[in-house]
Amino acid sequence: MSSMTTRLPWRWMDRAILGTVSAVTALLLAACATPTVPPDALPGATTGGTSATPGSPGVFPPPPAAPVAGRGRWVPADWSELPGFADDNLFEAWNAWTKSCEKPGPAFAALCGDVRRLSIATPDEQRAWMMAKLQPFRVESADGNAEGLLTAYYEPVIPASRMPLPGFGVPLYGPPATLGQRKPWYTRQQIESLPEARAAMPARPLAWLSDPVEAMVLHIQGSGRLRITEPDGSVRLVRLAYAATNDQPYKSIGTWLLQTGQVRDATWPGIRAWLAQNPQRLNELMWTNPRYVFFREEPLDTLDASFGPRGAQGVALTPGRSIAVDRTSIPYGTPVWLASPGPTASLQRLVMAQDTGSAIVGAVRADFFAGWGADAGETAGRLKQSLRLWALWPRGIPGALP
């Protein structure tokens, strides 16, 4: 679910989609939720691009008076209803909250002075402040279902070269100059095989990878860190963040393998094993996904490296404390209590809604930013489990939920 920055569209079934049948089914069920919001709920404008999944900038629309697809309802709750609230190390979430205060929504801007001041407070002091200033609302689908789906996304770390050296032959590109002149733009297959499409691509790729599967992972996650070898032999750590897509639909290569009976295991290890046995079918597999992602390069200094890519809210994501949500159900910058019992990971914690993704549809739906590297990738690949959410909304905000 980037988002991770333009959590992309795995953030397209994208991000979190790692190709398992159960994940596809769960995502489809989540997408069917059609929640409603009380007519006086959730005012305010929010803008953002996306990370793990591309989300277009926009204004959080006024709450509807009747059920609208993609929305949910918020039901007032007591703090005692939140599983594990008394035990969370809230200071771990405060970095994410102070990041949200860089671009707060109207309902939360007035609280940001307190949020920054409390960054050095104890968890008990932070907890007491939250209980005084915020009202929990249980997030439900329109039919009153409080159970949803939790998945995860991450930022891969991949060796790369600035030049097309032997063993590094898979290019990664920035947006073409003519990208906006036709919608949708060329498909992945056309980009890689049609002379006129190849001629429209930037003259120089941003970087070259050695493995087409790693490139596809990067396209799905929407952002990644490259250990890139420069022409002088030096090695730098840079981030490739989501910049745009070709506006073609996302199709899961894992789902294609399953549906055509090629594999029973559509995880990334399973996909690699299939390719090792069928190297001549590489293009056939990759071209089943017509979506192509274009990136922008961002430097990673020491401070930036401790956070993830920018999410749809426009702020850097915090590992373990940022989530992607359906922005028509939960506004960016909203603190959310997340409870998910497992089996992959038992999570009861404060998180911030800071990203979105095209597969993140429905009121009780979230994509958990796991961080970067192999361990985060392992978590993102396995985490697909039940979820409950409570939105924490400021008390006494005009026009806010009563």
Does 234 map to a domain?
Answer: yes
pLDDT of the residue at 31: 34
pLDDT of the residue at 304: 67
Does 266 map to a domain?
Answer: no
| Angle subtended at Cα 100 by Cα 13 and Cα 84, rounded to the nearest 5 degrees | 75
The widest CA-to-CA distance across the chain, in whole angstroms, is: 63
Domain that holds residue 217: 1-252+289-402
pLDDT of the residue at 222: 86
Does 235 map to a domain?
Answer: yes
pLDDT of the residue at 18: 36
Highest mean pLDDT among 94-98, 218-222, 263-267, 397-401 belongs to 94-98
CATH assignment of the domain containing 104: 2.40.40.10
Query: What backbone torsions phi and psi does residue 158 show, to the nearest 5 degrees?
Result: -135, 135
pLDDT of the residue at 180: 87
CB of 356 within 8 A of CB of 327? yes
pLDDT of the residue at 288: 97
pLDDT of the residue at 302: 60
Q: At what angle do helices 123-133 and 91-100 cross, to 10 degrees?
A: 50
Does 281 map to a domain?
Answer: no
In the numeric block, the tokens 């959730």 are attached to 42
Q: What's the whole-number mean pLDDT along residues 224-253? A: 93
pLDDT tens per residue across span 198-216? 999 999 999 999 999 999 9
Does 276 map to a domain?
Answer: no
The mean pLDDT value of the chain amounts to 82
Q: What's the whole-number mean pLDDT along residues 26-54? A: 32
pLDDT score of 94 more than 60: yes
Does 398 map to a domain?
Answer: yes
pLDDT score of 29 more than 70: no
pLDDT over 90 percentage in the chain: 67
pLDDT score of 368 more than 90: yes
Beta bridge partners of 136: 392
Does 275 map to a domain?
Answer: no
Q: What's the whole-number mean pLDDT along residues 84-97? A: 95
User: 368-397 as b/e, with b when 16 or more CB fall inside 10 Å?
Assistant: bbbbbeeebbebbbbbbbebbbbbbbbeeb
pLDDT score of 91 more than 70: yes
Cα dihedral: 275, 277, 278, 280 (round 10): 100
pLDDT tens per residue across span 317-328? 999 999 999 999
Beta bridge partners of 365: 149
pLDDT of the residue at 226: 95
Task: Count the domains in the chain.
Answer: 1
| Burial (Cβ within 10 Å: 0-12, 13-18, ≥19) of residue 61 | middle
Does 264 map to a domain?
Answer: no
pLDDT tens per residue across span 103-142? 999 999 999 999 999 999 999 999 999 999 999 999 999 8
Q: What's the whole-number mean pLDDT along residues 228-257? A: 93
pLDDT score of 11 more than 90: no
